[in-house]
Amino acid sequence: MKFSAALFASIVLGSGAAEAFTAGVRRSAKVSSVSLRETISEELGTPCEDECALDSFPNLPPSVHPGVVTGQAMLDLLNHAKENGYAIPAVNCVSSSGINACLEAARKNDAPIIIQFSSGGSQFYGGKGLDNKNYAAAIAGAISGAFHVRTMAEQYGVPVILHTDHCAKKLLPWVDGLLAASERYHAKHGEPLFSSHMIDLSEEPIEENIEICKDYLARFAKIGMLLEMELGITGGEEDGVNNEDVALEDLYSKPEEIFQVYDELTPISNMFTIAAAFGNVHGVYSPGNVKLEPKILTRAQAYISEKLGDKAPADKKPVNFVFHGGSGSDVSDIQEAIGYGVIKMNIDTDTQWSYWEGIKNFESKFHDYLQGQIGNPEGADKPNKKYYDPRECMRAAEVNTVQRLDQCFADLKCTNVLGLGEVKEADNVLGPRRGGLPV
């Protein structure tokens, strides 16, 4: 059963704070009505209690709700991040297990999260046994992942931006397939399947980059989707794209280029972000090998604000920036960039390692129980099924990833954002046949 955020606030915050919160909702409702929407749980009849049943959150704009947010709700969330000095972690996922770890970490940190798929990750989600001709497996895999996120984000009671990562020119048919799916979803549900897509044409001439992005943004705007575009090149290697030998000057965007993008996209829609290059590199490298220059972002904000004159926003930060290649970056650089208008930071390499490390540590701990189906230090006839049950090592990977994401949320100053308070411990103790873990 649905219950209001005001009622939740009275439980968590006390009656006085709840009255103030309710008044704030009423004030906001005067200037921006919140559209009614059917949730996945309502559509399918799945259980929806506690945070899942909230219509909004005590500390966020009233349009932002549990589950996948799109359109104005997504913009309100991103604007809240910018105004309150935090960035939202955007984690690449390749499995339902990885998605669940992200959602668990978001609720634990009382925060929103961005879950995103690359083309390769989407193909893997669909299954490597599927033929990927014309990106069929990647399209199907991303759509499958999207429905998993939509179903489970509500259950975890957190707002999620559902995004796809780098899409180079040759990969545009992949996004075309996903966009078509979102258009059909929008026709039935009043919102797109995905919140946003990234079009990465940074290796193309800037004029071509902008023109193609304009075409996509016009189509996105019709259904309330956001476009992320890239200027300059993120160094390093990720998902089969190798930019380790890119020219140094291409790692740093120029204010004039960023203004050119802003100036040409804004008349179409304000629903876009810019992944500007300021020395970003995918992957983790030895200290000193990556030289970030976050001040490129503040110089661009000042340059564009000067161009806009009286039309510049009061905070003189007209651009919403995205931080790519964040794994292994110095926290001071990350937080400096947030101060210059970064509202999203991508995370992939660090969570790839954390997931593997969880499995590695599990194997090390129970090594002698994982060498055969029968026989362990307790006896030659003792079974090992409860140790090699794949749920065990996968859960160890999830727990380790949640712990790593705790650090990410803290580094991005994205904690205690929703106003829900501490999460209660899950009741999952009924044994392996009822969902509990054997060990």
Residues with a catalytic annotation lie at: 165
Q: What is the rounded CA–CA span in Å between residue 214 and residue 221?
A: 10
Question: Nearest-CA neighbor of 139 among 194, 64, 87, 187?
Answer: 194
Contact 40, 67 (CB under 8 A): yes
Please give, one letter per residue, the 3-state secondary structure of 55-100: CCCCCCCCCCCCEECCHHHHHHHHHHHHHHCCCEEEEECCCHHHHH
| CA–centroid distance for 401 within its chain | 15
Tokens read off for 323: 């931080």
Record the tokens describing residue 134, joined without a space. Answer: 């014309």
Identify each DSSP E strand in 239-332 by its residue range: 241-243, 272-276, 281-282, 321-323
Burial string for 322-338 (b: 16+ CB within 10 Å, else e) reads bbbbbbbbeeebbbbbb
Please provide the size of the chain in residues: 439
Cβ contacts of 260 within 8 Å, gap of 6 or more: 206, 210
How far is 106 from 88, CA to CA, in rounded Å? 10
CB count within 10 Å of CB 153 equals: 28
Q: Which residues, other chains included, contact 220 with Cβ-Cβ below 8 Å and sequence gap of 6+?
A: 179, 196, 197, 226, 227, 269, 271
CA distance 103 to 212: 33
H helices of 109-135, in order, are: 119-126
Please tell me the distance from the alpha carbon of residue 197 to that of residue 219, in angstroms, as a whole number: 12
Helix (H, G, I), strand (E, B) or coil at 391: helix
